[in-house]
């Protein structure tokens, strides 16, 4: 392990480790974290690898410190990351809101386990999906990416860093314990073949720089600590100078911008995979590990002659509202299997409005969907039962 400064090639690699390698490939050089099953392997890998890349690894005293620490590192110009599971995310949410408000780029990995509370530490679930969107108080735009394999855990970690740098916010990777602890082939290409995006630093002189001035894309240019800009930033509602300004006018300029800087770029951020969508009667929408475990049911439905399409969300937040709205006018209905008791299906319902049926196939976590349950739901929608 000590001998490999940069990995290139094919590896038989665990999901959590692929995530850490993806972060390193993206240029992450600061990791602050706290041990928690099933995300500890990410911290362990970073502890081993970061020092050799002149990066910083610190095991903080808790998850609250971890998220505060990576925000601090982000302001020092580092690409920073933390990794945890549901209970840790619950502790982090206040400072995730600070990251949203201060617009500090960083990546937060949630290797989801069975919830709520301590739940099922060594088993999996997808029940933190709404928390990723609404966990911290207040309105803000957010981005969540959901991998379904170790290779994709690697790939989407790079994408998460790119989005966080580009749109200046903490980006979530919503993996789960099955993907995190699964070992598969992971191809790590040479760095030159990867698309790496870095945050846009201001080219203004310190005397002309306003830390929260923005252009058409609604994203302010960045200045890091120690470069002479001597700017102020705060979690309070602030003006373009970064100064607290507790007025309606300021709130009304700032908060909608935090939402719109993501909303206006949904097309860029939204990553999906589609199969046989054209002419489909029923569309199955799924994400993460569920998108793999339900495939036998789709095959069977096809064999039974059901015109079935399949939409996999790699980006869950921002939700692809327009896409679902358009599809809902063409199909009989959607089937949404997810490892919770109804979270993303609510979004699908919202977008489908009354144009088509939305059928949730719930699962509380700790196992996988029964083949028959998914097939049954597909049939119900297809035959209009």
Partner 1 sequence: MANNTAQLQEKSHPMEDLLRMDRMPHIWCSGCGLGSAVTAFVEGLKKAGVSYDKTAIVSGIGCTGRVAGYLRLDSYHTTHGRAIPFATGLKLANRDLTVVVFSGDGDLFAIGGNHLIHAARRNVDINVICVNNFIYGMTGGQNAPTTPLGAYSSTAPFGNYEMPFNLVGLAAASGASYVARWTTMHARRLTDSIATAANKKGFCFIEIVSPCPTVFARKNKGGTGLDMLKEFQTRAIIDHDADPTTIPLNMDNEIVCGEFVNDDRPTFWENVQAGIKARLEKFANWEEMQSNSRKISHKKDRKYTSSRDSSIMRRNT
Partner 2 sequence: MSELRVKISGFGGQGIILSSFIIGKAASIYDQQHSSMTQAYGPEARGGACSSQVVISSDNVEYPLVDTADVLIAMSQEGYDTFLPILKKGGILLYDTDLVEKLQSHKNFIAKGIPATRLAEELGKKIVANIVMLGFATKQAKIVSPEAMQEAIADSVPSKFIDLNMKAFQAGYDYNEEQ
Binding site for partner 2 (CB under 8 A): 10-12, 121-122, 149, 178, 181-185, 289, 292-293, 295-296, 368
Of 37 and 90, nearer to partner 2 (C-beta) is: 37
Tokens at residue 152, please? Answer: 């994709």
Is 340 within 8 Å of 126 (Cβ atoms)? Answer: yes
Query: Does 290 engage in binding with partner 1 (CB under 8 A)?
Result: no
Asked whether the beta carbons of 89 and 112 are under 8 A apart, the reply is no
Q: Closest separation between CB of residue 292 and partner 2, Å?
A: 5
5 binds, among partner 1, partner 2, none (CB under 5 to 8 A by kind): partner 1
DSSP-derived pairing of the beta strands 333-337 and 170-176: unpaired
Of 196, 197, 295, 368, the one binding partner 1 by CB under 8 A: 295
Region of 62-70, 108-116, 164-172, 356-364 interacting with partner 1 (CB under 8 A): 62-70
Strand pairing of 144-145 and 106-114?
unpaired
Question: 328, 356 in Cβ contact below 8 A?
Answer: yes
Beta strand pairing status for 315-317 and 144-145? antiparallel
Q: Select from 17-25, 94-102, 253-261, 363-371 the region that touches partner 1 (CB under 8 A).
A: 94-102
Nearest-5° Cα angle at 197, 12 to 161: 55
Contact status: 225 vs partner 1 (CB under 8 A):
yes
* Identity of the residue, 130 or 368, whose beta carbon is nearer to partner 2 in the bound complex: 368
Q: How far is CA 55 from CA 7, 83, 166, 178, in A?
A: 16, 16, 22, 29
Instruction: Rule CB under 8 A: say whether 60 interacts with partner 1.
Output: yes
Compare residues 116 and 190 and give the one whose CB is closer to partner 1.
190
80: helix, strand or coil: strand
Q: How far apart are CA 250 and CA 259, in angstroms?
A: 15
292 binds partner 1 (CB under 8 A): yes
- Which of partner 2, partner 1, none lies near 276, with the C-beta cut-off 5 to 8 A by kind? partner 1
Q: Which does 310 bind (CB under 5 to 8 A by kind): partner 2, partner 1, none?
A: partner 1
Tell me the closest approach of the beta carbon of residue 39 to partner 2, in angstroms. Answer: 16
Nearest to 321, CA basis, from 345, 355, 352: 352
CB of 324 to partner 2, least distance (A): 24
Q: At 114, phi and psi to the nearest 5?
A: -65, 135
Pick one of partner 2, partner 1, none as the site partner of residue 191 (Cβ within 5 to 8 A by kind).
none
CA 246 to the chain's CA centroid? 31
For 172, residues 6+ apart whose C-beta sits below 8 A from its C-beta are 107, 108, 109, 110, 132, 142, 143, 144, 145, 160, 317
Draw the binding track, 192-211, toward partner 1 (x: CB under 8 A; -: no contact). -x------------------
Unique residue bearing structure tokens 């600061």: 30
Q: Between residue 133 and residue 152, which ones bind partner 1 under the rule CB under 8 A? A: 148-149, 151-152
Q: Is 190 in the site for partner 1 (CB under 8 A)?
A: yes
Pick one of 139, 273, 322, 372: the residue that binds partner 1 (CB under 8 A). 273
For residues 315 and 143, is the Cβ–Cβ distance under 8 A? yes
The one of partner 1, partner 2, none whose footprint includes residue 68, by CB under 5 to 8 A per kind, is partner 1
Verify binding: residue 341, partner 1, rule CB under 8 A. no
* Near partner 1 by CB under 8 A: residue from 118, 217, 230, 260: 230
């Amino acid at each position: 392990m000590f001998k490999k400064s940069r990995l290139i090639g094919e590896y038989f690699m665990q999901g959590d480790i692929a995530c850490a390698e993806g972060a390193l490939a993206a240029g992450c050089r600061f990791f602050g974290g706290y041990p928690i099953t099933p995300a500890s392997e990410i911290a362990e890998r970073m502890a081993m690898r970061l020092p050799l890349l002149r990066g910083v690894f610190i095991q903080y005293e808790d998850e609250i410190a971890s998220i505060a620490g990576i925000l601090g590192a982000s302001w020092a110009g580092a690409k920073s990351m933390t990794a945890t599971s549901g209970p840790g995310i619950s502790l982090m949410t206040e400072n995730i809101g600070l990251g949203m408000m201060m617009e500090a780029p960083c990546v937060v990995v949630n290797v989801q386990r069975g919830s709520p509370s301590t739940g099922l530490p060594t088993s999996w679930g997808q029940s933190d999906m709404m928390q990723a969107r609404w966990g911290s108080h207040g309105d803000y735009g957010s981005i969540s990416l959901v991998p379904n394999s170790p290779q994709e855990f690697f790939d989407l970690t790079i994408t998460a860093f790119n989005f966080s740098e580009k749109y200046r916010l903490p980006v979530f990777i919503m993996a789960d314990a099955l993907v995190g602890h699964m070992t598969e082939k992971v191809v790590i290409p040479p760095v030159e073949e990867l698309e790496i995006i870095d945050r846009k630093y201001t080219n203004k002189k310190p005397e002309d720089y306003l830390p929260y001035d923005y252009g058409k894309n609604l994203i302010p240019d960045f200045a890091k600590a120690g470069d002479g800009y001597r700017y102020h930033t705060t979690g309070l509602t602030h003006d373009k100078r970064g100064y607290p300004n507790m007025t309606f006018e300021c709130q009304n300029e700032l908060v909608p911008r935090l939402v719109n800087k993501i909303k206006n770029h949904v097309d860029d951020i939204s990553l999906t995979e589609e199969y046989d969508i054209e002419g489909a009667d029923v569309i199955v929408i799924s994400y993460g590990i569920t998108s793999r475990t339900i495939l036998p049911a789709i095959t069977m439905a096809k064999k039974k002659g059901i015109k079935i399409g399949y939409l996999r969300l790699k980006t869950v937040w921002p939700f692809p509202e327009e896409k679902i709205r358009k599809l809902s006018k063409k199909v009989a209905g959607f089937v949404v299997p997810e490892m919770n008791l109804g979270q993303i299906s609510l979004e699908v319902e919202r977008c489908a409005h009354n144009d088509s049926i939305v059928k949730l196939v719930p699962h509380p976590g700790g196992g996988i969907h029964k083949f028959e349950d998914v097939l049954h739901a597909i049939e119900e929608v297809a035959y209009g039962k």
